[in-house]
Amino acid sequence: GAVVSQHPSRVICKSGTSVKIECRSLDFQATTMFWYRQFPKKSLMLMATSNEGSKATYEQGVEKDKFLINHASLTLSTLTVTSAHPEDSSFYICSARPNPRASSYNEQFFGPGTRLTVL
């Protein structure tokens, strides 16, 4: 159980285009999802916390108008990188936290990540 999928796994796009990444919890409901980015040989950096049905909470330094997050259902959150530039190239990983009634509530389950390359 507790499987999280991400789509696409890899995307290459031209500078200036927008890219949408989907994160789905396949066998559990996730009231909270997290979006991270990771540069090579660096740690995960939390970008934002997404709660179902409400606006995402962004970490300091993360532009909310550039990284649009939508969490419209208990199993799906999307991250849209708008007007992507080469410096946005990174590994984007989502994670999902089960609802408070779940025994695994204190854990995060990670998606397999999306590797974005902006040319």
Partner 1 sequence: RKEVEQDPGPFNVPEGATVAFNCTYSNSASQSFFWYRQDCRKEPKLLMSVYSSGNEDGRFTAQLNRASQYISLLIRDSKLSDSATYLCVVTLTGNQFYFGTGTSLTVIP
> Would you call 86 helix, strand, or coil by DSSP?
helix
Which of 13, 46, 62, 102 contacts partner 1 by CB under 8 A?
Answer: 46
29 counts as binding partner 1 under rule CB under 8 A: no
Site for partner 1 in 56-85 (CB under 8 A): none
81-110 positions binding partner 1, by CB under 8 A: 91, 93, 97, 106-110
Side chain identity, residue 107: E
Q: From residue 30, how far is each of 81, 82, 92 by CA, in Å? A: 22, 25, 18
**Cβ proximity of 110 and 94 under 8 Å:** yes
Number of residues that bind partner 1 (CB under 8 A): 19
Indicate which single residue of 7, 20, 66, 115 sits in contact with partner 1 (rule: CB under 8 A): 115
Q: What are phi and psi of 86, to 5 degrees?
A: -55, -30
Nearest residue (CB) to partner 1, 36 versus 67: 36
